[in-house]
Amino acid sequence: MIRPRHMIRIFLLAAAGLLASCIDGREEYWLEADGGGRAEIAYTLPAAAVQLQGGESAIRTMIAAFLKEAPGIRADSQQVVTEGNQTHIRLGFAFDSALDLMDYSKSGRLPAAAAHLTGNVSAAIRGTTLDFSRTITPAKALPGFSLLPAAQLAERRLTYIMHLPAAAGYSNASRVKNSGRTLVWEFPLKAALQSPPVTRFKMPLPIPWHFVAGIALPISLAGGVVFLRLRKTRKSRNPMRRSDAAEGGTTASRA
């Protein structure tokens, strides 16, 4: 007789075996100096697992709800396509503020699996440096994977890419390109399930040119106004000197 706990283990192994056949994830972000940017998210999932969640239409509905509740995010492209036993989900979007995007990820409005794949994001500005950290928990999004042998997960990985407006002063990236402006993290799925992946970098804050212009113009105008007022005040405070100078000049000319 099979005990209930053994049944649960068999069920988890079967489910994990089904899911592990084709799990891959890639997220790529382009950050601008003004805090906005764009992103491309791509995940490959087993078609059977997608069917358990309601199929392609349910995934599209979930994405539409996500975009509707996040007004600062604008979809550039959206694709949910099943090919054979795999479903490919791709989403491209632009955002006005990376900090607003971070706040939305913490709002609790994302589905549980998506929230675990988004993870815990922390971004803080310390002086003139942006300190960014993200901890992803795929094991919570993909229960049962820890029971699988490593061979079944060997070819699966999670990849995260960040294109920064300035070179990172520090990062724990797997690879660094573009003179420090592009950071690439690659995590084998097996390792990511055993220990939550962490992406971290520190970057000096670039000052946007439109921000500089927005500050420089008022300061220039204010400086001009102050200069004119000081000049006018000095003239008004010294009427006798101007009069004496004028008389001295007249006397000298008469002499």
Buried b vs exposed e over 27-47: b needs ≥16 C-beta within 10 Å? bbbbbbbbbbbbbbbbbbbbb
How far, in Å, CA of 184 to CA of 173, rounded?
6
Q: Do 152 and 14 contact (CB within 8 A), yes or no?
A: no
**pLDDT value for 24:** 84
Spell out the residues 6+ positions from residue 93 whose beta carbon is closer than 8 angstroms to its own.
Answer: 38, 39, 67, 73, 74, 75, 76
How do the pLDDT tens digits run along the chain, 255 residues long?
Answer: 444 444 444 444 444 444 445 578 999 999 998 888 999 999 887 777 777 778 888 888 888 877 777 777 888 888 999 988 888 989 999 988 877 777 666 666 666 667 778 888 888 888 888 899 999 988 887 665 555 556 666 778 899 999 999 999 999 999 999 999 999 999 998 888 889 999 999 999 875 544 433 333 344 444 444 444 545 555 565 555 545 544 555 444 444
pTM for this prediction: 0.71
**pLDDT value for 206:** 75
**pLDDT value for 116:** 77
Q: Is the dihedral of CA 99, 100, 104, 107 positive or negative?
A: positive
Q: Would you mind telling me the total number of residues written for the chain in this entry?
A: 255
* Helix, strand, coil percentages, rounded to 5, for the chain: 45, 30, 25
- Residue 51's H or E segment, with its range, is helix 47-52
Nearest to 91, CA basis, from 119, 67, 118? 67
**pLDDT value for 59:** 83
How far, in Å, CA of 213 to CA of 221, rounded?
12
**pLDDT value for 209:** 42
**pLDDT value for 183:** 98
